[in-house]
Amino acid sequence: MSMYAYVAGTTNDDINDKGSIACQIDFLKQTNVDYDAYYVDTFTGVSRARFQLQKLLMIVKPGDMIDVMDVSNMMSNIRELSCLLYYLDDLQITIYSDNVELDVGSIRDQFTIAMMCRAEKLTMMQQELNRKKMCHLKRQIDLRRNKDNKREITQNDYQIYKLLMSSNYKTAQRKTGLSRSTLYRLKKRIQKRK
């Protein structure tokens, strides 16, 4: 029977940061266990590859033990972790975590259910957020459509339009005091009505 230690995390040297390699190695050293080997996966940037874990899984034999600070460090998402736990259960590998021996078969179902509930909750929250965004966008579109249609064309608008059609924009701007873009919108709105 062999005892292995697995660590995965950032290169942050802060011992108080549970996601750092330094914190996890310190935790494993406090257990006073003489490990056959340490396997360390370092996360850099967006890369979360676990090559050392793959090496470890190639050498473990039935009855071996793997010590980790947190079981969730072994994989980046619930599906991969659930598959890994099933695989380790088939190999009869024991995982130690937080100074407690964890029988993979007993924790697998509880952990999977808890993580799936969390994932389901996050999915529902994201769907609700997306629904609210769509409602907001539809409302904005409706407001813009109604804004364009609701504005009544007054007699004064027709007079400005006639002035604009009989002269150029500069002359109409000087006489009315309106900007070129306002005159253009007025012209388009009246032309749509005709």
User: Residue 132 falls within a domain, yes or no?
Assistant: no
At residue 92, the 3 state secondary structure works out as coil
User: Residue 111 falls within a domain, yes or no?
Assistant: yes
Q: For residue 151, what pLDDT band results from cuts at 50, 70 and 90?
A: low
> In the chain, how many domains are there?
2
Decide if pLDDT at 104 tops 60: no
Q: Which is more confidently placed, 84 or 150?
A: 84
At residue 70, the 3 state secondary structure works out as coil
Q: What is the pLDDT averaged over residues 12-40?
A: 77
Q: What is the pLDDT averaged over residues 134-152?
A: 75
Q: What is the pLDDT averaged over residues 109-136?
A: 74
* Virtual torsion, Cα 65, 68, 71, 72, nearest 10 deg: -140
Domain range for 167: 152-194
pLDDT tens column, 177-192: 889 988 998 888 888 8
Q: For residue 101, what pLDDT band results from cuts at 50, 70 and 90?
A: very low
Query: Strand ranges (DSSP E) for 69-153?
Result: 94-97, 100-102
Q: Which two tokens stand for residue 167?
A: 């002269």
Do 86 and 158 fall into the same domain? Answer: no
Strand order in the sheet with 37-43: 37-43, 3-10, 65-68, 94-97, 100-102
User: Residue 131 falls within a domain, yes or no?
Assistant: no
Q: Is pTM beyond 0.75 here?
A: no
